[in-house]
């Protein structure tokens, strides 16, 4: 019997997952992906209802696409623990999709440009305040609803109609999202 021992196979070290820190949601930063829906000073606004109400006008380009109709629904999002692994993304090729929070709580927005399936390198992550909604432009890749801390309701304005309007892809590798609070 030889004095050599059989070496046990070693596992290759798993690469550390990519981490992305969320940035604040601003209309300028989010412009490539759609619209920020919020009452702010840089939009057209005027008094209505005998001066009792301020209207912040035309905040999002709602796009039901050809042969679609615009619908409103309520989505109730369960809170996600951080750091959160983003493993998939979706898009709606036939129309836009808007999320307007009803709970006044911050939430996360994960997006990638319309076109080819997203890669970890072209993901952007935003922290939306509880008074900011988003409207994803037609075809923009995004993660499904990401509520934080507690159950949150959102008014969702999107498309109903014929045709396949939801594509999903799995990312080649998950990305961990965290925020600096």
pLDDT band at 181 (very low <50, low <70, confident <90, very high): low
Task: Look up the pTM and report it.
Answer: 0.87
As a whole number of Å, the CA-based R_g of the chain is: 21
- 40 pLDDT exceeds 90? yes
- 8 pLDDT exceeds 90? no
Give the residue-averaged pLDDT of 56-79. 96
Query: For residue 142, which of 165, 168, 116 has the smallest C-alpha distance?
Result: 168
User: Which pLDDT belongs to residue 12?
Assistant: 57
| pLDDT single digits (tens) 121-162 | 999 999 999 999 999 999 999 999 999 999 999 999 999 999
Structure tokens at 95: 């129309």
User: Which pLDDT belongs to residue 13?
Assistant: 62
> Which of these ranges, 9-13, 41-45, 132-136, has the smallest mean pLDDT?
9-13
- 9 pLDDT exceeds 60? no
- Domains of the chain are 18-178 (2.60.120.480)
| pLDDT single digits (tens) 99-129 | 999 999 999 999 999 999 999 999 999 999 9
């Amino acid at each position: 019997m030889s004095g050599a021992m059989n070496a046990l196979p070693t596992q290759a070290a798993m690469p550390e997952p990519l981490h992305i820190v969320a940035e604040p949601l601003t209309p300028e930063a989010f412009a490539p992906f759609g619209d920020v829906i919020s009452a702010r000073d840089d939009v057209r606004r005027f008094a209505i209802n005998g001066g009792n109400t301020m209207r912040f006008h035309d905040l999002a380009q709602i796009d039901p696409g050809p042969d679609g109709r615009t619908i409103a629904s309520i989505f109730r999002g369960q809170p996600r623990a951080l750091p959160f692994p983003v493993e998939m993304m979706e898009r709606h090729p036939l129309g836009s999709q808007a999320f307007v929070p009803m709970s006044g709580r911050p939430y996360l927005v994960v997006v990638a440009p319309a076109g080819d399936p997203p890669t970890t390198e072209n993901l952007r992550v935003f922290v939306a305040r509880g008074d900011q909604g988003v409207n994803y432009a037609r075809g923009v890749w995004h993660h499904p609803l990401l509520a934080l801390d507690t159950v949150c309701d959102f008014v969702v304005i999107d498309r109903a109609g014929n045709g396949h309007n939801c594509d999903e892809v799995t990312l080649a590798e998950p990305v961990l999202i965290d925020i600096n609070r």
